[in-house]
Amino acid sequence: MVCDTYSLLCIGLITGPAKNYHIYAALIQDIKDMIHLNNVTNVHTLREGDQCANFLFKMGASSDPDLSIHLSVPVEMNDLLRNDAWGTFFPRG
């Protein structure tokens, strides 16, 4: 499995040596353990390269409920999914 993230800091915390005094040291160690057990590869991606994830992030940040379950893709996301499937290039701005 491949896990894409925008955050080089997160990749460093997860793949680097343990930082026992980090405020989230226990959580980071749990993530490391899960990655090791499930054969996960962490990859850095640019935010511009994953418009769908960025859309969902913004949608979640602007909503009130703690959890939203979508039974289908939000209509506003159809063009983004099409671009993602076609591998459309988005220059970094």
Q: What is the DSSP letter of 16?
A: S
Q: What pLDDT was estimated at residue 85?
A: 76
Are 16 and 38 in a shared domain?
A: yes
User: Token digits for 5?
Assistant: 């993230």
For the chain, how many structural domains are there in total? 2
Asked if residue 39 and residue 54 are part of one domain, the reply reads no
* Residue 91 falls inside a structural domain: no
Give the per-residue pLDDT at 52. Answer: 81
- What pLDDT sits at residue 48? 67
Do 19 and 32 sit in the same domain of this protein?
yes
Regions in the chain scoring below 50 on pLDDT: none
The residue among 58, 48, 57 whose CA lies nearest residue 88 is 48
Q: Is 92 within a domain?
A: no
> Measured in Å, how far apart are the chain's first and last C-alpha atoms?
29
Q: What pLDDT is recorded for position 63?
A: 83
Check residue 88 and report its DSSP letter.
Answer: -
Enclosing domain of residue 73:
48-86
Same-domain check for residues 14 and 37: yes
pTM score of the predicted model: 0.55
